[in-house]
Amino acid sequence: MLRGLHYQVEHAQGKLVRVAVGEVFDVVVDLRRSSPTFGRSLGMTLSAQNRRMLWVPPGFAHGFLTTSDYAEFLYKTSDYWYPEHERTLLWNDPALGIAWPLSAAPVLTPKDAAGTPLAQADVYAIATRCSRP
């Protein structure tokens, strides 16, 4: 299953993520237009075995591909989830250049399949900060 790339245009969330069981390929994309790394992505493997955690700053889209048969993924967020402010970036937009480790077409939710390309996405004009709930 492939999830993401999700973000909130208001109440931007910072997320500390890790995998408790299994393995995922985790991806973040900088959506802060004023950033020198705007539109760039970073992908890394998170697993129960390697015990890595990843901080996803506010202003970044986040998604992952489960690379094991089963995975338990844990989030600690800096703000609440507001579904009315959530947006989905197109996971396979060529402009992002994400090298998803796929051996076949991924399983996607309808929301993830209908993501918006970066060129048309709602992005952040300036760097965002964590807000406290």
Give the pLDDT score at 36: 94
How confident is the model over 9-67, as pLDDT tens digits? 999 999 999 999 999 999 999 999 999 999 999 999 999 999 999 999 999 999 999 99
d(CA 117, CA 98): 13
Residue 63 counted as domain residue: yes
Bond preceding residue 74 cis, omega within 30 of 0: no
d(CA 34, CA 52): 29
Beta strands in the chain (DSSP E): 2-8, 15-21, 23-30, 41-47, 53-56, 60-66, 72-77, 86-88
Q: pLDDT higher for 119 or 125?
A: 119
- The DSSP line for 61-85 is EEEEEE-SS--EEEEEESS---GGG
Residue 27 counted as domain residue: yes
Sign of CA dihedral 48, 74, 61, 125: negative
Instruction: Name the active-site residue from 6, 7, 11, 62.
Output: 6
Residue 133 counted as domain residue: no
What is the number of structural domains in the chain?
1
- Decide if pLDDT at 130 tops 50: no
Residue 52 counted as domain residue: yes
Q: Would residue 82 show up in a list of annotated catalytic residues for this protein? A: no
Q: Would residue 75 show up in a list of annotated catalytic residues for this protein? A: yes
The CATH number covering residue 35 comes to: 2.60.120.10
Residue 128 counted as domain residue: no
Instruction: Name the active-site residue from 62, 75, 80, 124.
Output: 75
Residue 132 counted as domain residue: no
Residue 20 counted as domain residue: yes
- Decide if pLDDT at 128 tops 70: no
